[in-house]
A and B are shown apart, each in its own frame.
Chain A
């Protein structure tokens, strides 16, 4: 049997097409991004090696750090909202009729394209005919608010549809984890006289700690590389007020044709994501994960 199953040509035939695609289209570009980051290059002409110049420029680039600050703010915002999702999932996983239907309804926005969501929310935020201002005006607000044109609120205004888009995803994951907890454990705690609060905080939370960890990584890394809605809705504007790391990179490369600097930002983004993932895993690794049985 092993002889048949270890035929080298067959193995190559089964593995190589996928492996080559992933190597050529994911890993080679990662290496090239690191390489381009050491160059001065307009994307068309010859490259000039400039060593770490792009990175020293990055360190001093106030606009970049402003964008990075926005990305980290989104990460903080997304992480905090996990608490709300967890609370909703806890309620949903309790004795709730229609829980299955509700979690599916929550998920709908996540299935739509970012462009459709962005265009829809552009309309929601429209100064004169958008849903939001119309409702606020009917409640007595005088001046319409320019949600996406005022530098002080544009970032928060963009966070709302991003949260809206992903809420159902996290609720779904928490719900799945909570309903996988053997009911015997919950019953045992109740028989021992635990209140619902104690059951939630002392029994359920520790049991899904692994899943919570994964969602924290997802929320933070997903926020740090976030791009779509911001690119479509404000393109980083007005005046850089909603620029994030990925949109800043995109603008440097594909608008200013500064591919060397854009690549340096792209490489920095990659390193940030990997380091943050590693860091969270490290920080939350204290103690073994609680096992059922």
Chain B
């Protein structure tokens, strides 16, 4: 929010001095635009190329220019990988594991943030400290013990190992983003509610939580992206094919289809399409969440 306000004031002040530019200044500006657009092309071009070869067959990939549009877009590549391999299975595993972990993370983080900002208790500082230091812990330093713990609890190759680790490792970031918002919420409403005999649970569930809807949308989308893309945990804890998500699933799948470029391209496109769709629909929220959560390592 502050960001867009800052941007608009900056824009307002900048339009204040137009049209006094000399020729070298104009040329300079053209050069700057050229650089900015070149960066954009570099960032996007591999994806355009991916889309192109996902719609070609091997002959077209090998014999035509990489920039050539496919003569007949071969959508059958998509149908083929969706029906022949396990891609649809991986896809739905990704969907339900991501959503379950996100729901759990957002509920637990909201409860803690409410307790940290509204309830009255000691130990707030050390508890907050524990969550914040959690942001700095490298995942790999926890991997071996986590694997052993899940092995002992018979949770390896079990979706619960994934959902619980995703939740635990996303809680610190989620709490951090929520905290900033909870601090800005007015307190008058809740004081009045408590005076009227409202219980803490009702205060949280029916008054505070609805007021945080906008920041919840931000943390939900950020959590969804992180979970959808997660690789190390799922690769380490899950071994059987029917429980894999897209990230590890496509890794195996592509191993089998190394020579069929169209199939590989279609698989990769299927795995990134939900993210691209979310991006087109919610880019402002994503930008906001990533900026707010920029300390996540």
Residue numbers of A with Cβ under 8 A of B are 1-2, 4-8, 10-11, 13-15, 17-19, 21-30, 32-33, 36, 43, 88, 91-96, 100, 102-116, 119-121, 123-124, 129, 131, 134-135, 164, 167-169, 172-173, 176, 179-184, 186-187, 214-215, 218, 221-222, 224-225, 227-228, 232, 246, 249-250, 253-254, 259, 262-263, 266-267, 269-270, 273-274, 277
Contacts and interface: CB of A to CB of B under 8 A. Distances in A.
Contact of A121 (B43, B46, B164): B46
B51 to A, nearest CB: 11
B142 interface: yes
Contacts of A134: 65-66
Nearest to B291: A176
B142 A33 contact: yes
Chain B interface main SS type: helix
B6 interface: yes
B218 interface: no
A33 B145 contact: yes
The 5 A-B pairs at the shortest CB distance, nearest first, are namely A113-B229, A32-B145, A29-B142, A29-B145, A25-B168
B143 interface: yes
Contacts of B137: 26, 30, 270
Contacts of B116: 15
Contacts of B14: 94-95, 183
A91 B35 contact: yes
Contacts of A108: 43-44, 47, 276, 279
Given A21-B164, A106-B40, A225-B138, A29 B35 contact: no
Interface string B233-273: 00010000000001110110010000001001100100110
Contacts of A173: 291, 294
A218 B3 contact: no
B184 interface: no
Contact of B39 (A18, A88, A111, A169): A88
Nearest to A224: B138
Nearest to B200: A10
Given A5-B118, A10-B200, A17-B111, A263 B127 contact: no
Contacts of A4: 194, 199-200
A102 B229 CA distance: 23
Given A15-B111, A88-B36, A22 B130 contact: yes
A26 B47 contact: no
A138 to B, nearest CB: 8
A12 to B, nearest CB: 9
B200 A18 contact: no
